[in-house]
């Protein structure tokens, strides 16, 4: 029987790297493709892998994208370093060596044989251009992941393949340079391709979002339809192919946007999909019995329940606590996640830097009722927005609705595509009454810092702070901790822990589970 895989990953690293891909070879078929530009040439055979992804791609500008576009970016672009969280070590990507000169200066030496997809070679200028663009866009427009470079004063070019990072304060530059967002390097020729006046020119973003790229990764973009399909083609001049030494690597990767779990399962069954990330968990055992194989991955992906702090009645702290006490937490893992999750605590996932134990609300329907009686709230109607196609969220929402119904609170569950969920979330800053009372924001990290999970409640983060929560004390705590990470890491963690306690006491947001991805 042919081996087939159901895999849930945030990025397609398993396709890039030989370590996982070789096990897919029996299912991945060689498909005849005729080049339309050379009809007289013999039919060529190319290895194609079809990967089902459940969300619309939100963007592919490597300096701005901070969401689902990672599934594309991680294959098309590369950072300076890769970080292995299991071994807690760094591996060379576009940088082959790096060293700390002093507390506020680092030198990185670049690969000399790395090419961009436009045929030009990696240079120090490309690194400087890419990183400064990420930083400046965030500082001037407040969008994207450029906050990771807050510590950066400037980047100085030593020569064509050596650069110096000059910092404003000590920071873990190797970690930042290995970030999954905001640290990708690309050719500065994009200025010429777009006739842009400078790196901030909007024409650059529009050029990227039209499906163009100038990355250096193992695949380049051939077709970009963010709501339906993305096609990546193997970049034969990638510096890493000799190192990976993977003869099974596909020439073409097709990323299909398939929202519904049932449709992903159907694609597996009819052979139109080779790798699925979102089949119904109830189907997994049956698929295993049919010869499919599953790879479980414990990740730092969690689901954060956020309350609207600007709309009645979730603008009342005690009301939010009543809701949290009404959640049957003992059923969340087995019912909502069907066993594919770990009990959460606070906002930060288990095993991640800054995780704090015992920041949980226990199920206590009696206490919830007492709180509501004191508030003189005997009935209310709450709007709860979740992402359609996410069965974990759908099941959790049904649990919450059933429990709150016992308290006279009616919950309207609104399931929307991810892009519309985001629009609902950010509405809290424009008109709080247009934003839902409750919303789930599923989150995965940028690079290993507690700040990543805690910043989504910072008053300056109007892109992801869907609670509309503003607390100067909290902002100061996490900002202080962030700047301390490169000076006194243990002290920084203590302050992050204090900040999490503030959020817990304010009951403004909480992780409902730490996901295990099947």
Class of domain 4-56+227-295: alpha beta
Q: Where in the chain is the domain with CATH 3.10.105.10?
A: 298-517
Return the pLDDT at 447: 86
Answering whether pTM is above 0.85, one says no
The pLDDT confidence band at residue 30, using thresholds 50, 70 and 90, is very low
pLDDT at 28: 36
Residues above pLDDT 90, as percent of the chain: 79
Please write the tens of the pLDDT for every residue from 155-209.
999 999 999 999 999 999 999 999 999 999 999 999 999 999 999 999 999 999 9
Percent helix / strand / coil, the chain, rounded to 5 = 35, 25, 40
* Mean pLDDT (whole number) for 322-332: 97
Residues of the chain with CATH 3.40.190: 4-56+227-295
Residue-wise DSSP of 157-217:
EEETTEEEEEESS---HHHHHT-SSS--B--TTHHHHHT-SSTT-HHHHHHHHTT-----S
Q: Which residues contact 124 (CB under 8 A, 6 or more apart)?
A: 110, 157, 158, 159, 160, 161, 162, 163
Question: What is the C-alpha to C-alpha distance for residues 86 and 491, in angstroms, rounded to an integer?
Answer: 24
pLDDT given at position 483: 94
Nearest residue to 308 via CA among 420, 431, 406: 431
Q: What is the CATH number of domain 298-517?
A: 3.10.105.10
Q: Is the pLDDT of residue 119 over 80?
A: yes
> Which of 414, 518, 16 has its CA nearest to residue 241?
16
- pLDDT (tens digit, 9 = 90+) per residue, 351-394? 889 999 999 999 999 999 999 999 999 889 999 999 998 999 99
Looking at the chain, the domain(s) classified CATH 3.90.76.10 span: 81-190
Confidence of residue 74 (pLDDT cuts 50, 70, 90): very high
Maximal CA-CA distance, the chain: 81
CATH of 81-190, one of 3.20.20.80, 3.10.20.10, 3.90.76.10, 3.30.360.10: 3.90.76.10
Chain segment 408-435, per-residue pLDDT in tens = 999 999 999 999 999 999 999 999 999 9
CA proximity to 12, closest of 255, 225, 216: 255
- Crossing angle of the two packed helices 317-326 and 365-375, in degrees rounded to 10: 160
The count of other CB atoms within 10 Å of the CB of residue 252 is: 18
For position 85, what pLDDT does the model report? 77
Are 404 and 324 in contact by the 8 Å Cβ rule? The answer is no
Cα 65 from Cα 81, distance rounded (Å): 19
For 120, the 3-state DSSP assignment is coil
> DSSP letter at 121?
B
Helix (H, G, I), strand (E, B) or coil at 48: strand
Least confident residue range of 216-220, 251-255, 442-446 = 442-446
Peptide bond into 313 cis (omega under 30): yes
The helix/strand/coil state of 483 is helix
* Greater pLDDT, 17 or 101: 101
pLDDT at 312: 98
């Amino acid at each position: 029987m042919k081996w087939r895989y159901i895999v849930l990953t945030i990025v397609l690293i398993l396709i890039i790297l030989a370590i996982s891909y070789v096990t897919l070879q029996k299912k991945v078929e060689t498909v005849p493709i005729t080049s339309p530009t050379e009809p007289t040439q013999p039919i060529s055979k190319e290895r194609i892998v079809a990967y089902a992804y459940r969300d619309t791609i939100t963007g592919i500008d490597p300096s701005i994208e901070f969401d689902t576009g990672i599934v594309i970016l991680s294959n098309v672009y590369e950072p300076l370093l890769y970080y292995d969280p299991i071994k807690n070590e760094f591996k060379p990507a576009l940088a082959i060596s790096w060293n700390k000169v002093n507390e506020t200066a680092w030198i990185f030496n670049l690969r000399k044989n790395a090419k961009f997809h436009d045929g030009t070679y990696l240079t120090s200028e490309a690194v400087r251009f890419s990183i400064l663009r990420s930083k400046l866009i965030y500082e001037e427009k407040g969008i994207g992941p450029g906050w990771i470079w807050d510590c950066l004063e400037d980047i100085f070019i030593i020569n064509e393949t050596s650069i110096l990072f000059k910092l404003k304060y000590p920071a873990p530059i190797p970690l930042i340079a290995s970030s999954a967002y905001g640290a990708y390097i690309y050719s500065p020729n994009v200025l010429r391709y777009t006739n842009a006046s400078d790196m901030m020119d909007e024409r650059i973003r529009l050029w990227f979002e039209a499906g163009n790229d100038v990355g250096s990764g193992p695949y380049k973009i051939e077709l970009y339809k963010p709501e339906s399909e993305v096609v990546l083609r193997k970049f034969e001049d990638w510096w890493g192919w000799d190192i990976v030494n993977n003869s099974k690597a596909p020439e073409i990767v097709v990323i299909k946007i398939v929202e519904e779990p049932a449709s992903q399962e159907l694609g597996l069954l009819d052979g139109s999909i080779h790798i699925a990330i979102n089949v119904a968990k109830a189907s997994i055992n049956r698929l295993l019995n049919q010869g499919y194989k599953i790879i479980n991955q414990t990740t730092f992906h969690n689901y954060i329940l956020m309350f609207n702090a600007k709309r009645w009645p979730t603008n009342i702290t005690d009301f939010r606590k009543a809701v949290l006490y009404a959640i049957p937490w003992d059923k969340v893992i087995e019912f909502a996640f069907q066993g594919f999750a770990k009990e959460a605590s606070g906002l930060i996932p288990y095993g991640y830097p800054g995780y704090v134990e015992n920041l949980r609300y226990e199920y206590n329907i009696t206490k919830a009722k007492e709180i509501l009686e004191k508030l003189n709230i005997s009935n209310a109607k709450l709007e709860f927005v979740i992402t359609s196609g996410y069965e974990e969220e759908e099941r959790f929402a049904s649990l919450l609705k059933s429990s709150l119904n016992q308290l006279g609170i009616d919950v309207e569950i609104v399931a929307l595509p991810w892009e519309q969920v985001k629009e609902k979330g950010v509405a809290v800053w424009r008109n709080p009454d247009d934003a839902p009372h409750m919303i789930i924001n599923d989150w995965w990290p940028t690079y290993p810092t507690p700040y990543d999970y805690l910043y989504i409640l910072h008053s300056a983060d109007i892109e992801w702070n869907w609670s509309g929560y503003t607390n100067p004390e909290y902002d100061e705590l996490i900002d202080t901790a962030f700047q301390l990470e490169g000076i006194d890491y243990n002290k920084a963690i203590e302050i992050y822990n204090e900040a999490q306690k503030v959020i817990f006491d304010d009951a403004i947001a909480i992780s409902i589970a730490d996901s295990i991805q099947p």
